Amino acid sequence: MTSTETGSKRLYRILDFTRVVQIFEREELYFANPGKWDDPYERRISHSRSHAIFAQCWCQLGISDAMWRIYSKNGMGVRISTTDKKLKAAVKAFVKDKGYIFRLGEVDYKSQTDLNVEAREIAAELREDFKIQRAVDVLYMKREAFRHESEWRATIFCPDEKRVNAKDGVAVKIDPHKLIDRILLDPRAPEELVDAFKFYFEKKLGFKGPVIRSVLYKSPKPLEVDDEFITSSDL
C-alpha cells in the first residue's frame, strides 16, 4: 500500500459529487451517529451515551470494483484520498479544548458467531463498569460479509451532547485543501462528465492535487495468438 508520508496509511472515500463539493465549500466532514447506519449490528449495544458517539468510515483499498459499484451511482461518484495522519490531525484540532475524545483505527472483521459472543461480553462488562472506550470497541468490529469495505474508522465521543433532541451527526471543521490530496473520478464516467468535474474542482474550487479518472476499466493492450496450427482436439 502506497503512502505520501513516511509511516502513514492511505485512506479513501467514494461519495457523490455533490457531497464532495459540500466538503470543500462548507469546509467540514460529517460524522454520523452509528444509530443511523444501515447495519443493525452497528447499534447492537445500546447505552446512555449512544447518542453522543459520532463516526465516519473510510476505506483502505485504493482500487475496488465493489466500492465503485456500491457508492458511485450513475458514474457520479468521486473518490477523495487522504492519510491517517492527516485525518487524525484534523479530528484532533476539532476536539481540542472541547473535552471530546476520539479514536482512529482499523475495523476487525469477524464471523457472525464470534461477533455475537464478543458483543455479549462487552455488554456484560459495561453493565458492571461502564467505560466509553469499551463501548466504542463494538464499532470497530463488523461481520465478515462486509470485509470488502476494508474500513478504517474515525470516532468522536461528545460528552456534552444531550439525549433530548439528539443529533443525527456533527460537522467537523477542516481545511479540505490540507486534508484531501487527490481526487479520482468514476472509471465509467463519460469524457464529458470527467471534463466538467475536473473544471469544477480545479477552476471553481482551486484544488491543487491531481483530478483524474480511474483507469480500473481501461482496456489492456490486446495479446494476439496465432491459432493457425491446432495440435489437439481435446480441451
Share of the chain above pLDDT 90, in %: 84
Residue 224 lies in a domain: no
Assess whether pLDDT exceeds 80 at residue 26.
yes
pLDDT confidence band for 1 (50 / 70 / 90) = very low
Is 140 inside a domain boundary? yes
Confidence of residue 226 (pLDDT cuts 50, 70, 90): confident
Instruction: List the single range of 1-5, 160-164, 190-194, 211-215 with lowest mean pLDDT.
Output: 1-5
Please name which of 1, 16, 5 lies closest in space to residue 60, comparing C-alpha atoms: 1
Residue 4 lies in a domain: no
Q: Alpha-carbon dihedral of residues 91, 92, 94, 96, nearest 10 degrees?
A: 160
Instruction: Give me the number of domains the chain comprises.
Output: 1
* Cell matching residue 153: 474508522
Domain containing 38: what range?
A: 10-213
Is residue 175 a part of any domain in this protein? yes
- Distance from first CA to last CA of the chain, Å, rounded? 39
Question: Is residue 158 in a domain?
Answer: yes
pLDDT tens-digit series, residues 30-66: 999 999 999 999 889 999 999 999 999 999 999 999 9
| Residue 231 belongs to some domain of the structure | no
* φ/ψ of residue 2, rounded to 5: -85, 160
